[in-house]
Amino acid sequence: MKLYFTPGVCSLAPHIALREAGLEAELEKVDDGNRAAYRAVNPNGYVPALEIRPGVVLTEGPAIMQYIADLAPAARLAPESGSIERYRLQSWLNYITSELHKGFSPLFNPGMPAQAKTMFREQIAQRLQTVEQRLAQHEYLLDGGFSVADAYLFVVTGWAGFVGVDLKPFPHLLAFRERIKARPAVQEAMRAEGLLPPAARAA
């Protein structure tokens, strides 16, 4: 398998899922230098994309993460397919995609008017209230523990400091972020993308 990624963007979530699942995958970085060629893999031009085998490519993060989870059921990154808990996972993945991820995206656009950015920040804060209420009572988004939805939420909320979204009103979300960041697979993925310094070598 090959994961096409760009450091720190939404492709970090399936990268985390691969490492949590203990699956081997080649990593191919997508940047301005090879983005035109990458359109042969994903015509939309954005990451992530997972090349399962030559000629078989899966796009869109929530679909990729569920595919990864199903390849390694022992890792318990997603509930059993067809169960009500699996649909709850899909509900959270859809919420993060549509209500958070797509809310953050305009804030990275330098041409977006300041008034519009204020509106998007306010909308994100409203949507984060739903997440905060859940995390006030549970360590993770699903009752069964860590899932690919938690990886996705961690990645998306990690953009807050870059675009002026204040997370201080959400203490349970902040505590959640610290729990997820402490996971070894998360740190491995972040180091591999250059988002954390290399681990110190034992003397």
pLDDT digits (tens, 9 = 90+) for 171-188: 999 999 999 999 999 999
In a domain? residue 177: yes
pTM above 0.75, yes or no: yes
Domain identity same for 68 and 99:
no
**pLDDT reported for residue 203:** 40
**Which amino acid belongs to residue 153?**
L
Q: What's the pLDDT tens digit per position in 154-168? A: 999 999 999 999 999
Q: Is 202 inside any structural domain?
A: no
pLDDT at 4: 98
In 3-state terms, what secondary structure has residue 52? strand
Q: How many domains does the chain have?
A: 2
Task: Tell whether 70 and 113 lie within a shared domain.
Answer: no
Cα distance between residue 66 and residue 82, in whole Å: 12
3-state DSSP percent of the chain in helix, strand and coil, to 5? 55, 10, 40
Whether residue 197 is contained in a domain is answered as no
Instruction: Check whether residue 129 and residue 61 sit in a common domain.
Output: no
| 92 and 12 share one domain | no
Query: Whose structure tokens read 């400091």?
Result: 161
Poorest-confidence range of 87-101, 166-180, 186-200? 186-200
Which residues form the domain of 116? 84-183
